[in-house]
Amino acid sequence: MLETLSQLFSQTFLGIALGRFAAAFALLILTLILKKVLGHLFVTVLFPFAGKTETSYDDQALDCIRKPAEFLVVIAGLFAAVQILQLPPEPVDLPGFAATFLKILVIFDMAWVLFNLVAVLNTFLCTLVSRTESTLDDNLLPFVRKSLRIFIVFMAVLMAIQSLGFSISTLLASLGIGGLAVALAARDTISNLFGSLMIILDRPFHIGDWVKAGDIEGTVEEVGFRSTKIRTFAKTLVSVPNSTITNMAIDNLSRMPKRRIMLTIGVTYRTTPKEMRDAVAAIRAMLGSHPAIDQEFSLVNFTEFGASSLDILVYCFTTTTAWAEYLAAREDVCLQIMDILEGMGLEFAFPSRTVYLAGGETRSPSEDRVESEKLVI
C-alpha cells in the first residue's frame, strides 16, 4: 500500500510531483482551518478584552483588522503552498508570476486594513469636532475621510502597478502629458469639486438644515465631492451637482428665528362697523395672550372691502420653527378666531353674486334659463 502511494506521488503533472500537489492541498486545508481559528480568537478573546476598556476605539480597530488578518493567513498559506510546489520556471516563469501575485495580495490586504482604519480616525475626529462651536469642521470631516480613502486606494494601485514591473515615473509622466485632456474631459467634475469647496467656505447650509433650492425641498444629508444629497419630505434622496446648487437661490428654512402666520378672514357685509371693531380687538387680544405667538410683532386690521366679504388681515409669528409645532399653533389660532366670530354672531363670507332684474321687462323662458345658468349664488 505504501509502495503504491509512493509510486503514485512520485508521478508528475506539469513537471510537479503529485505528492507536492497533495502536500500543498493539505496545507491549504490547514490554512482555512487556521483562518477559522483566528476568527474565533477575535470573537471569544480579543473582542471581549477590548470591551472591558473605557474607549471604543480599540473595539472599532479590532473590527477593522479582523477580516484582513484572516485574509493574511490565507496569503501565508498560499505562499507556503507555492514553496512546496516548487513551480518550474520553464516554459513560463511560474515562480515569478506567483511571487508577483502574492505581492499584489499583500498590498491589497494592507490597503484593506488602512482603508478600514480610516473609520476609526473618523470617529476620533468626530469626537474632537463635536467639542467645537464652528460648523466648518463638520463639513470638512467627510472630505478628510474620503480624501484619505482615495489616497490609500491610489497608492495601492501604484504599488500594484510597480509590482507588475511597470515604471511609476513613466506612468506619472504619461499622466502629465495627458493632463490637459483629462482636465477637459473632467471639467464638470472639477467644477463640482470647486462648488463643494464654495459650499464649505460660504456655508449657505449645513448638514441637517432644511433647505429649498428651486423645486427641491428637504434636509441636507451630505455634502460630497461631486454632489449634495438632499432628503425630501417624501423620503426620496436627491443628488444635486455642487456646481449647480452653488448657482441656485437657496432658501435655508432652518435659519428662521420664527415662522409666519398670515391669514385673510372674510366676514359678510351684514357686519356693522361696531362689530368689526370688536372682532378686530378680540383677535388682537387673543394673539397677545397666546403662548405660541411671538409678542414682538403682530398685526390685526380690517383691510379691504372684498368682492363678497369684509376682509381682516391676521399677521403674526410663532415662537417655534418646528413644522409640527407650527401647524399646531396655527390650528389653535384659527380655531380661536372661529370661536370669537361665532360668539359675536358674525358669519364667514363665501363667494356669491346678487343679480338685480329691472321690473317690467318681458323675458322668454329660454332667456331665463340662460340667465340662471350664468348665476352662481
Q: Tell me the per-residue pLDDT of 229-238, one tens digit each, with 9 for 90 and over.
A: 999 988 999 9
User: Which one, of 280, 281, 250, lies nearest residue 265 by Cα?
Assistant: 280
CB-neighbour burial class of residue 287 (10 A; exposed 0-12, middle 13-18, buried 19+): buried
Per-residue pLDDT, 303: 94
Rg (CA), the chain: 38
Per-residue pLDDT, 159: 84
What is the pLDDT, as a whole number, of residue 339? 95
The pLDDT of residue 133: 59
Tens digit of each residue's pLDDT (9 = 90 or more) over 250-308: 888 888 889 999 999 999 999 999 999 999 999 999 999 999 999 999 999 999 998 88
Q: Which residues contact 59 (CB under 8 A, 6 or more apart)?
A: 47, 50, 51
Least confident of 105-109, 244-248, 294-298: 244-248
Write the pLDDT tens digit of every residue in 198-221.
Answer: 777 677 888 888 899 888 899 998
Assess contact for 206 and 129: CB atoms under 8 A: no
Domains 186-255 and 259-343 share a fold: no
Q: pLDDT per residue over 156-203, tens digit each? A: 888 888 778 776 666 556 555 555 555 555 566 667 667 777 777 677
State the CATH architecture for 259-343: 2-Layer Sandwich (3.30)
Handedness of CA 92, 94, 99, 102 (dihedral sign): positive
Looking at the chain, the whole-number percentage of residues with pLDDT higher than 70 is 77
Contacts of 374 (CB under 8 A, 6+ apart): none
- Per residue in 324-364, pLDDT (tens digit) is 899 999 999 999 999 999 999 999 988 776 677 776 554 44
How deeply is 343 buried, as exposed, middle or buried, from its count of CB atoms within 10 A (0-12, 13-18, 19+)? exposed
Select, from the ranges 37-46, 51-60, 129-138, 141-150, the one with the highest average predicted confidence (pLDDT): 37-46
334 with 263: CB under 8 angstroms? yes
pLDDT score recorded for residue 372: 38
Place of cell 318681458: 362
Residue 6: pLDDT over 50: yes
pTM of the shown model:
0.50
Copy the grid coordinates of residue 274: 361696531
- The helix-helix angle for 2-10 and 18-41 (nearest 10°) equals 100
> What's 253's DSSP letter?
G
Q: Average pLDDT, whole number, for the chain? A: 80
Query: Which residues have CB under 8 Å from 287's CB, separation 6+?
Result: 293, 298, 300, 314, 316, 333
The reported pLDDT for the residue numbered 132 is 63
C-alpha span between 121 and 61 (Å, rounded): 10
Percent over 90 (pLDDT), the chain: 27
- The architecture (CATH level 2) of 186-255 comes to Roll (2.30)
> Distance (Å, rounded) from C-alpha 5 to C-alpha 23?
13
pLDDT of residue 322: 85
74's grid cell: 490565507
Q: Which residue has the higher pLDDT, 318 or 227?
A: 318
- Cell readout for 364 is 322668454
State the pLDDT at residue 362. 46
Direct distance between the N- and C-terminal alpha carbons of the chain, in angstroms, rounded to an integer: 112
User: What is the residue extent of each domain of the chain?
Assistant: 10-177, 186-255, 259-343
CA max distance for the chain:
135
